[in-house]
Structure 1
Amino acid sequence: MIVGIYCGSRSGGDPIYTSTAQSVGQSLALLGVEIVYGGGRVGLMGAVADAALSKGGRVSGIIPRLLVERETAHTGLTRLHVVENMHERKAKIAEIAEAFIALPGGAGTFEEIVEQWTWGQLGIHQKPCAFLNVKGYFDPIKSMIENMVSEGFIQRDHADMLTFSDDLGVLLERFKNYIPPPRKWT
């Protein structure tokens, strides 16, 4: 399995975010799960990659040329794909990954995982999406999605496409058993 990881290019204010990112990287590597991510060496992105690599894992990075020029690219990865822009980066990660996990992060992390969820709703792909809910970080997003359902903006089965858990094992189990709902506008 190849899992797309979305997470912060910063480490956040609580050390639990970095230690969880390291644990995720190590655990996925030990399970033989390959990682594809944004290709950075900084923040939680770098923590996940370094931890996976330290356990012999395979890690592919997809990074826009602009960020390579700013010297944020991780140069010790299994593979590093340099693309022209963020759109190409997101498309390449979506092409390679078989499932997606968001760890804590900022606007980019949120935008990337929501795009994959949207693509799943539209039937562009049938890949599961999940939030590793470290310290309840994603609780406001979960509440917002419940509000979308209660206000009639999304269907219950499309909200249920997402898994929220603070346990990586729960997310991986859900991935193995994932059955996508009918696409929107069938």
Structure 2
Amino acid sequence: MKSVCVFCGSSLGAVPEYRDLAVATGQAIAKAGITLVYGGARVGLMGAVADGALQHGGTVVGVLPRHLQEKEIAHESLSELHIVGSMHERKAMMEQLSDAFIALPGGVGTLEEVFEIWTWGQLGLHKKPCGLLNALNFYDGLIGFLDHQTREGFMKQVMRNMMQVADTPDGLLEKFRSYQPPSTPKWIKPDQT
């Protein structure tokens, strides 16, 4: 694993512990010698995760859509900053540049990003691990809902297991190192069941 993409909020959240978590995640990625790929901004948790990695000598690659360059305020100290034309291009480039994906606390944009990447994995478009960093129990409700979807037959257990969960950055990186993608496809023809 050479690079990890982090999806997270452009806000800092309600308590300072969210910022601390983002900084610690950046630090853990840098200390592991892994490149951080993220949204390219210097605001919110995005800026904090980048700063955490940079403070520990990490390589940080940002991908920022042109229309957000002024709103999200591009981070000026990155190893690389790619300015792209759209959100679609941003996600495609982040996927190409990354070997794994982490969702820190964030809003609907964070969820949309990690769910799209997870969906691509379910469809066999990549075999890279995705994970929720559930520090401060931020994702408890979502994890419960994903388990509910599985119990109700809308997601196979093997696909549910693709979304790794840990409450520390190091714990999630360790799960990624041993991750094995599903050997069974999401879609099985009726005569194969």
TM-score with structure 2 setting the length: 0.94
CA positional deviation for 1:69: 3.5
CA positional deviation for 1:167: 1.6
Which AA in structure 2 matches 1:48? V
Which AA in structure 1 matches 2:128? K
2:143 & 2:102 partners in 1: Cα distance? 15
1:158 & 1:168 partners in 2: Cα distance? 22
- Please list the CA deviations of residues 143-180 of structure 1 after superposition, one character each: whole Å capped at 9, or x if unmatched: 11111111100100100111111122221111111111
Q: Determine the structure 2 residue equivalent to 1:12.
A: 13
- Please list the CA deviations of residues 62-98 of structure 1 after superposition, one character each: whole Å capped at 9, or x if unmatched: 0000111336111110000000010000000011110
Give runs of ≥4 in structure 1 deviating > 4 Å.
none
Uncovered stretches (5+) of structure 1, i.e. residues with no partner: none
Q: Determine the structure 2 residue equivalent to 1:171.
A: 172
CA positional deviation for 1:116: 0.9
Bigger Cα Rg? 2
Q: Determine the structure 1 residue equivalent to 2:146.
A: 145
RMSD over aligned CA atoms reads 1.0
CA contact (8 A) 1:120 1:183 kept: no
Percent identity, aligned pairs only? 48
Aligned length: 186
Is the partner of 2:181 in helix, strand or coil? coil
The yes-or-no answer on 1:36 pairing with 2:45 is: no
Q: Determine the structure 2 residue equivalent to 1:53.
A: 54
* 1:122-137 correspondence to structure 2 within 5 Å: 122-137=123-138
